[in-house]
Amino acid sequence: MTFIIGPSGAGKSTLLKLIYLQMRQSRGHITLFGRDTSQIERKEIPALKRRMGIVLQDFRLIDHLSVFENVALPLRVAGSKQEDYKEDVLGLLKWVGLGNRYHALPPTLSGGEKQRAAIARAVITKPDILIADEPTGNVDEGMGRRLIRLFSELNRLGTTTIIATHNTALIPEDANTLSIEHGQITGTINGEQIG
């Protein structure tokens, strides 16, 4: 689990886009699932993205689908039947505080509720990598801590978790932390200084 911090405009979101293949690097080297991303063909990207959970700042919920349907969408796309995932989706929605809003449409949700729905959708498949861009930006501190615990638990179960955040108060003291400033990355990974 690694946190990426830095001032606005430092490049946190850009780094995440490079990792989840939304952008391609013009120089440098990025390895994803043991492969150099510059060697990954465009037609391979959808299959790789199915192994990722991605939480973006703009939520990207589908307005005409209920919260339940938005969260379940990755499972439906993968071919799962609703009876196989219904309890998992409802349980996760309850955990993120949306148990009584499962039927609501995104336009009726607050920003914090949309954020929690987007996070639930990103983690429902138990992805190999979870990439989250300011996942606690629209929630109160208590819910922010709860969401960080969810990310920590996923990480403990084997999901590589990368979180860009401005809220350094939510970062556990012993966490891997990278700082981006003036085009330079510095920080601590597994107790070792880098940069």
Q: Taking residues 140-168, what's their average pLDDT?
A: 89
Q: How does pLDDT run across 95-131, given as a tens digit for each residue?
A: 899 999 999 999 999 988 999 999 999 999 999 999 9
- At residue 43, the pLDDT reads 95
| pLDDT value of position 142 | 87
- Count of domains for the chain: 1
CATH number at residue 55: 3.40.50.300
pTM: 0.88
Name the region of 126 (left: φ>0; alpha: ψ -120 to 50; beta: rest).
left
pLDDT interval class at 28 (50, 70, 90): confident
Q: Which residues is 184 bridged to in the sheet?
A: 181
Give the model's pLDDT for residue 184. Answer: 87
Q: What's the domain range around 131?
A: 2-194
Q: Predicted confidence band at 167 (pLDDT cuts at 50, 70, 90)?
A: confident
Angle of helix 67-77 relative to helix 82-95, nearest 10 degrees? 130
